[in-house]
Amino acid sequence: MTMKLHGLVAATHTPFLSDGGLNLAAVEAQARHMLRNGIKNVFVGGSTGESHSLAVDERLALVQRWSEVVRGTDLRLVVHVGSNCLADARTLATHAQVAGAVAISALAPCYFKPKSLDVLIACCADIAAAAPDLPFYFYDIPVLTGVHFSMPEFLAVAPGRIPTLAGVKFTNPDLMAYQRCLQAGEGRFDIPWGVDEYLLAALALGAAGGIGSSYNFAAPIYLRMMAAFSRGDLATARAEQYRSVQLIELLASFGYMAAAKATMGFLGVDIGPARLPHANLTMEQGSRLRTSLEQLGFFDWIRT
């Protein structure tokens, strides 16, 4: 597969109503916001999308709505279809293909974890086969799944069993392994970087794109950083990356998911609360977060 996820790919939030139900009406506002901020690819239903807190029917409805909203725009839809239940993952993969996604991705099963690389590849092959016309990306995020296998070894073995394998969404700070993935198969694979606050380091090693949550609300910071890097202005690139570090550290101090969704609200894109087991901000915390973002300079940083 020749699919390439270059540039910024926003890992979108799932919008909820105050009672915890899906708010599919908010997807259009999310899409408009992405386009205004230079985002051309969205990654729907992943970690940022709280996929493991959604029922299968909700995930299908969310993807269906995104597919309707992006039609006729410059946005491309990438769908996370991973699940602890492979039958559900296959259902999601097939639906993504019918809905017009350009690629699918899947986390490893993480309750009953694959005990070997061979078993992990078998799981991925099972999922990918349900969408035979779509490029497949394995989503490596061991800090959340607890599944730790060598991605360079995965790329050496998996292509023979996953014909649609396009690459790996590499959400792992192991830059040595990342370099090996970039070189695997004589550079044939697409390896979008998945740790926003390390993006500059990945660019220096050859990354051409990244998939991340903070691109929802801070894309201008990263676009300036990437532009500075491409013209050799490392001082500016480092300064922009440090803004990312400060922003993510601030949000994490409040509870990252809830703070990130609140930040989207501050930007005029109301996507509601996070769903349990994520906690949400109190009114007082939300007020303190906004004040802290103002003091940090965030609202000036993201002006386009």
Closest CA to 32 of 81, 75, 67: 75
- Mean pLDDT of the 230-248 span: 98
Query: Residue 138 falls within a domain, yes or no?
Result: yes
pLDDT above 90 (res 119): yes
Q: What is the pLDDT of residue 1?
A: 60
Structure tokens that stand for 216 in this block: 């929802």
Query: Residue 279 falls within a domain, yes or no?
Result: no
Cβ within 8 Å of residue 259, ≥6 positions away: 250, 251, 252, 281, 289
Query: Residue 171 falls within a domain, yes or no?
Result: yes
Q: Which one of 169, 198, 215, 222 is the catalytic residue?
A: 169
Query: Residue 288 falls within a domain, yes or no?
Result: no
Whether residue 169 lies in the annotated active site: yes
CATH of the domain at 137: 3.20.20.70
pLDDT above 80 (res 304): no
Q: How many CA atoms lie within 13 Å of 12's alpha carbon, on the beta-carbon side?
A: 34
Query: Could you list the residue range(s) of the whole structural domain that residue 214 is in?
Result: 7-233
Q: What is the pLDDT of residue 90?
A: 98
pLDDT above 80 (res 62): yes
Structurally, the chain folds into a number of domains equal to: 1
Whether residue 139 lies in the annotated active site: yes
Query: Residue 214 falls within a domain, yes or no?
Result: yes
Look up residue 227 and give its amino acid.
A
Q: What pTM did the predictor assign?
A: 0.96
Q: Which one of 111, 137, 139, 215 is the catalytic residue?
A: 139
Q: Distance (Å, rounded) from C-alpha 202 to C-alpha 214?
A: 16
